[in-house]
Amino acid sequence: MARRNEHSKAQLRTLAIAAVRAIVAEQGPDKLSVRKVAEHIGYTPGMLYHVFACLDDLILHANAVTLDGLLQRMQAATALSPAEALQTMAGQYLALAREEPHLWQLVFMHRMPQAAAVPAWYQQRTLQLFVLVEDQMARLSAQQDAAAVHLAARTLWSSVHGISVLAVENKLSIAGDVDETAMLQSLIHHYLASWARNSVNGDDA
């Protein structure tokens, strides 16, 4: 193709990642293909394999952009009190899912081929998000040990994820009239109220 030599490898990677995000945002994760990405940026599919190992590698890099956006949203809350920060971070998680449902779904729908391990650089990207939550949990209760903070942060994330996925996929109506923001607030308020108190009197039940 005529444009083949117009871009450096780095530029081509950036173009391809942006193309994946544009295609998924518009058409949904199921409609993504190497051919569409190549067409979108005016290169041959073969050229993409010069800069990405495979479509999964490309998808992980597109997902990393989504996670970086979430990290930025959540970091803005760290100046608040721990409980307020965690409420705000949960709200940002739901807001991202609402504002970019297809890109958000791509993060959770994507599976590595043949159950291959997620690369370390991507694991590190997700770990940054948990560290943000764990820092607030630790501020909330200095007496909880690392294992308790680890479990609590992941329990809150999984629970917030459940409320968000049911809200974004319009599955809450089956449960009768219920507001996802009220559920988020109830979840975090009550979980933290007991979790922080237990740490003080040493009850880890």
List residues binding its own copies (CB under 8 A): 108, 111, 115, 118, 122-123, 126-127, 130, 150-152, 154-155, 157-166, 169-176, 178, 180, 182-183, 186-187, 189-195, 198, 205
| Nearest to 107, CA basis, from 71, 155, 68, 64 | 64
Nearer to its own copies, 41 or 88 (CB): 88
What H or E segment, with its residue span, contains residue 139? helix 120-140
Considering the complex, what minimum distance in angstroms separates the CB of residue 72 from its own copies? 19
Considering the complex, what minimum distance in angstroms separates the CB of residue 18 from its own copies? 24
Considering the complex, what minimum distance in angstroms separates the CB of residue 88 from its own copies? 16
- What residue has token string 């009239």? 177
| Size (the chain), residues | 205
Considering the complex, what minimum distance in angstroms separates the CB of residue 11 from its own copies? 29
Token output for 26: 């518009």
Nearer to its own copies, 40 or 150 (CB): 150
Nearer to its own copies, 16 or 63 (CB): 63
The secondary structure of 14-68 as a DSSP string is: HHHHHHHHHHHHHH-GGG--HHHHHHHHT--HHHHHHH-SSHHHHHHHHHHHHHH
